[in-house]
Each structure stands twice: as structure tokens, then as C-alpha cells.
């Protein structure tokens, strides 16, 4: 007998990401996914039981993958500021490099598609950043301001910086990353 092809899921995911990048989540439909992935619509339903499940499944996969990448290379032994620079670099670089993934995640977060579990995952994404900020406060390097505020400032700023970068087809230079970090660091430093 023929076995389900594990690569097809990736094909479907990749097609979905391209479609959302080019036409927004609001315009996504199953016929388009089938066409883009060069698969029959029925095939998609062999891998996902509904459009909602497909979207949630991709969302959860991306959310985990992206979080891992963002915190890669941080070390408790390195000085706080070095870790912070690494984090901001990772964050911006990842967001540009995997733009369509982040764009999809963002669109999902603002949609009615996500289930309870996906929403919970989305909430927890700040946990590791809060831990890092606490260390900065212990070392008297970071302003004594609520972590939620500090994190919002960093993340909001970085996201918008990347959006501009993408919209203007501006390549991601070392200079850009350094300037972005300068803004971020001056903001949060005590």
C-alpha cells in the first residue's frame, strides 16, 4: 500500500505561508492552498481535518521553532549586555529572515482562528525575556520598571523596525542592527 507522505505536510505549510505573505490570512482559502501546493483539496483533508486545524497546527509549529531560534546562543555566563545584544540581533535577524513565518503568526494572533491552546502558547512567549530582564535588574543595569512595560517596548519597537525594513526592501546591515540595539539599550538601561 501507499503510505502518507510526511513531506506533504511541509508542502502544505509552505504553500500556506506563501499565500498569507502575498494575500493576507483574510484571503486564505483551501482551493488556493491546494493549487499553490499542487495537491488536490481532498489530499489536504487527509492531513488536516479542517482549515482551522491546519492554521492552528502551523501556528504552533512556527511559534515553538521561532522562540528556540530567538534564544539560541544566549549564555548565563556571558555579561548581561552581551546577552541582550545577542537577543535583539537574533530577534531582528530571525524576523527578517523568516518574515513570512512571523507574518503568519502575527496575522493568526489577530484572527478568530486560534484555539485555546494556541492562544496560551502565544501568551507564554514573554517568559524567557522576563527572566533575562530580572537578571538585568539584579545587576542594577536595567530600569526599575515593570517587566511587561520593558518587554513591550523592546518587542514592539523591534517588530515595527523590521516591518519598515521589509517594506522598504532595506537589507539587514550590521549598522542597522547596531542602531536598533542602541535605541533599545538606551531605553531600558538604568
Which positions lie near DNA, rule CB under 7 A?
1-5, 8, 27-31, 34, 38-43, 45-47, 49-52
DSSP conformational letter for 142: B
Alpha-carbon span 64 to 117, nearest angstrom: 13
Tell me the window of 40-48, 90-98, 132-140, 176-184 that interacts with a second copy (CB under 8 A). Answer: 176-184
Tell me the window of 1-9, 61-69, 88-96, 153-161 that interacts with a second copy (CB under 8 A). Answer: 153-161
Alpha-carbon span 150 to 114, nearest angstrom: 27
Alpha-carbon span 153 to 144, nearest angstrom: 14
Nearest distance from residue 142's CB to DNA, in Å?
Answer: 45
C-alpha grid cell, residue 19: 499565500
Nearest distance from residue 5's CB to a second copy, in Å?
Answer: 31
Nearest distance from residue 100's CB to DNA, in Å?
Answer: 19
Alpha-carbon span 131 to 147, nearest angstrom: 9
Q: Is 143 in the site for a second copy (CB under 8 A)?
A: yes
Contacts of 78 (CB under 8 A, 6+ apart): 86
Q: From a second copy, DNA, none, which one binds at residue 159 (CB under 5 to 8 Å depending on kind)? A: a second copy
Pair 151, 157: CB distance under 8 Å: no
**Site residues (CB under 8 A) for a second copy?**
23-27, 106-107, 110-113, 143, 145-146, 148-150, 152-161, 163-164, 168, 176, 179-180, 182-184, 186-189
Amino acid at each position: 500500500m501507499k503510505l502518507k507522505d510526511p513531506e506533504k505536510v511541509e508542502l502544505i505549510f509552505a504553500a500556506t505561508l506563501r499565500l498569507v505573505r502575498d494575500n493576507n490570512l483574510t484571503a486564505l482559502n483551501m482551493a488556493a492552498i491546494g493549487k499553490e501546493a499542487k495537491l488536490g483539496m481532498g489530499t489536504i483533508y487527509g492531513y488536516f481535518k479542517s482549515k482551522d486545524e491546519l492554521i492552528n497546527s502551523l501556528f504552533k509549529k512556527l511559534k515553538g521553532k521561532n522562540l528556540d531560534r530567538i534564544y539560541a546562543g544566549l549564555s548565563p555566563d556571558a555579561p548581561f549586555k552581551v546577552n541582550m545584544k545577542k537577543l535583539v540581533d537574533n530577534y531582528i535577524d530571525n524576523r527578517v529572515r523568516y518574515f513570512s513565518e512571523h507574518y503568519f503568526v502575527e496575522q493568526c494572533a489577530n484572527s478568530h482562528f486560534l484555539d485555546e491552546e494556541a492562544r496560551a502558547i502565544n501568551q507564554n512567549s514573554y517568559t524567557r525575556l522576563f527572566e533575562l530582564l530580572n537578571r538585568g535588574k539584579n545587576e542594577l543595569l536595567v530600569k526599575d520598571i515593570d517587566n511587561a512595560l520593558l518587554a513591550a517596548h523592546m518587542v514592539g519597537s523591534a517588530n515595527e523596525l523590521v516591518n519598515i525594513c521589509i517594506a522598504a526592501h532595506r537589507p539587514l546591515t550590521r549598522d542597522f542592527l547596531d542602531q536598533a540595539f542602541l535605541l533599545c539599550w538606551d531605553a531600558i538601561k538604568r
